[in-house]
Structure 1
Amino acid sequence: MLRVGAATDTGRVRDHNEDSALAEGGIFVVADGMGGHAAGEVASGIVVETMRELVTRGELTSDDVTRQLLVANERILEGVASHPEQRGMGTTATGIVLVTAGGSDHWAVFNVGDSRVYRWIDGTLSQVTVDHSEVQELVDAGVITAEEARVHPARNVVTRSLGTDYAYHSDIWVLPPYAGERFVICSDGLTNEIPDERLREILQQCPDPQVAAEELVRAAVEAGGRDNVTVVVVNLDGDVGDDLSETSPRQPGDDTTPREIVSEEK
């Protein structure tokens, strides 16, 4: 059985929340919008509404997820064409979707941009997604360390996003379910404020997914809250053979909506 919690906060600096989140059926998404003039929340909202269409489609594959992200990208571009004042809007998109692979339930983990998906198994936390950002490229090249990346002046510059016609390609991983695992889906308002070790500690201390989501958001705001922060926590309880379609999701509690992108600063 799946149990889900979600929380969001505008933070201490931004005047509105441009993050959007979805926790419905087997679809769990966080999108971090950018563009200013409320355009960021428009872009992230388009992603969430587009991904919500998968909830009622029944059996899904990872290809369905990839195609739906392309649809979201096209809809954002169409929105800009209809409203030129929203030119430059875009959004990250990351999350997990329950899909079928090889005749059994799997997770499709997807990502565009620098929002993240973490997987927690038996007390071990690992980052599943890879950031599409300038600092990640510098880390991969050995130019800076992961710790230096956390304070680098280009840490908010992404190299892929939805809302462009040249840098929207998504990464996708298909993972088998693991009894007792937990996923954290979050905007960078969380990861820019607290280190992975603090994230792991909060998960360890808060087995309930709603409590964990709220505590993670609170920790990020208390650490500085320089950006909107949104977190969705997904727990897989019971045995691997259980029906994963039995969910009890909770929608983001406060106002839900992300922030400002490709090779543009958010």
Structure 2
Amino acid sequence: MPETAPQGGGETPRAPAARLDLGAASHVGHVRSLNEDRFLVAPESGLFAVADGMGGHAAGDVASSAVVQALATIAPAASAGDLLARMKAGIATANAEIQKVALARGTVVGTTVAALLIFAPHFACLWSGDSRIYRVRAGRIVQLSRDHTEIQSLLDRGVLTPEEASAWPGRNVVTRAIGVQERPDVELDHGLLEPGDLFILCSDGLTQHVGDREILGLCTDAPDAQGACDALVSLTLARGANDNVTVVAVRYLGPPGAGPRDAAGPGASGS
């Protein structure tokens, strides 16, 4: 996993007061020869991410690596707002680097990103493209991100029904990505953490094969965050895995000193 490096400026950084249960898994799948997915698990800075190099575009792995490496250089911040600002700046830096690669190669290069910030008691999600962020809380799963895809746009406008969308030929067309435009086009959601919250970040290689209810079920049955990631990737592989698949799981157990009962939830475990 990438290591963080010091970043100057601002107030004296402090580590976010949080106990976390973490997991990650990535697989090339059964069809592609190269894994263009990249992920970040950096609890020391409170940042987590999944990036999926644009399928069919040259140097997709270069693009996804640029985003993850930019986020990996962010040091612990003094506040949630400070960390979010650094996160946005890192994505902007990666966007510029990817555009330079695209210009040099004379082709389109891009990557999705789904990024999570944990600075207890706050969390924030940033995303661009169709990599997703879910939250499992109190036995329910909610997709916090919203796909930036042609098919989601058609669904939002009522042009297609969910049944029609499942067979739509352009269902994999992404309408936003890092590196494709001069400035990164990202969306933001944020809120307050509750002990037991489980966040799932994933590339579309997972959601092409595994539904939301199945994600909830596997996460509920898993003994810990790593077990959830392993189970999700295993099911994807069993169903054909026609794309790279990557999953990162982050469970918030509570502030330091909180016991397992304070962080009760499906699959919760103490440290």
Q: Does 1:47 align with 2:67?
A: yes
Identity across matched positions, percent: 38
Q: Does 1:232 align with 2:248?
A: yes
CA distance in structure 2 between the partners assigned to 1:141 and 1:229 by the alignment: 29
Q: Residues 129-151 of structure 1, C-alpha deviation per residue, up to 9 Å, x if partnerless?
A: 01000000011111223344343
- What amino acid is aligned across from residue 134 of structure 2 in structure 1? Y
Quickly say closer, same or farther: Cα 1:147–1:214, change in 2 above 3 A: farther
SS of residue paired to 1:237: strand
State the aligned residue count. Answer: 236
Contact 1:150–1:192 at 8 Å: present in 2 too? no
CA distance in structure 2 between the partners assigned to 1:221 and 1:90 by the alignment: 25
Q: Could you state the TM-score of these two structures normalised by the residue count of structure 2?
A: 0.81
Counterpart for residue 88 of structure 2: 66
Q: Does 1:157 align with 2:212?
A: no
- What amino acid is aligned across from residue 159 of structure 2 in structure 1? V
SS of residue paired to 1:22: strand
Contact 2:132–2:203 at 8 Å: present in 1 too? yes
Q: In structure 2, which of residues 199, 212, 217 is the aligned counterpart of residue 201 of structure 1?
A: 217
CA distance in structure 2 between the partners assigned to 1:177 and 1:147 by the alignment: 34
Q: In structure 2, which of residues 13, 37, 45 is the aligned counterpart of residue 19 of structure 1?
A: 37
Q: Does 1:88 align with 2:108?
A: yes
Shift of 1:15: 1.0
Contact 2:57–2:109 at 8 Å: present in 1 too? no
Q: In structure 2, which of residues 111, 125, 128 is the aligned counterpart of residue 109 of structure 1?
A: 125
CA distance in structure 1 between the partners assigned to 2:166 and 2:78 by the alignment: 40
Instruction: Determine which structure has more spread, i.e. the larger CA radius of gyration.
Output: 2
Q: Residues 44-65 of structure 1, C-alpha deviation per residue, up to 9 Å, x if partnerless?
A: 0000000111234554423332
CA distance in structure 2 between the partners assigned to 1:218 and 1:168 by the alignment: 33
CA distance in structure 2 between the partners assigned to 1:140 and 1:113 by the alignment: 16
Shift of 1:66: 2.1
Of 50-59 and 128-137, deviating more is: 50-59
Shift of 1:175: 1.2
Shift of 1:227: 0.6
Which structure is richer in relative contact order (CA contacts within 8 A, separation 6 or more)?
1
CA distance in structure 1 between the partners assigned to 2:257 and 2:129 by the alignment: 33
CA distance in structure 2 between the partners assigned to 1:78 and 1:60 by the alignment: 31
Alignment of 1:106-255 (within 5 A): 106-165=122-181, 168-238=184-254
Q: Could you state the TM-score of these two structures normalised by the residue count of structure 1?
A: 0.82
Counterpart for residue 100 of structure 2: 78
Contact 1:35–1:89 at 8 Å: present in 2 too? no
CA distance in structure 1 between the partners assigned to 2:196 and 2:243 by the alignment: 31
Superposed CA RMSD in Å reads 2.0
Q: Residues 205-238 of structure 1, C-alpha deviation per residue, up to 9 Å, x if partnerless?
A: 1140001001101111211201100000111113
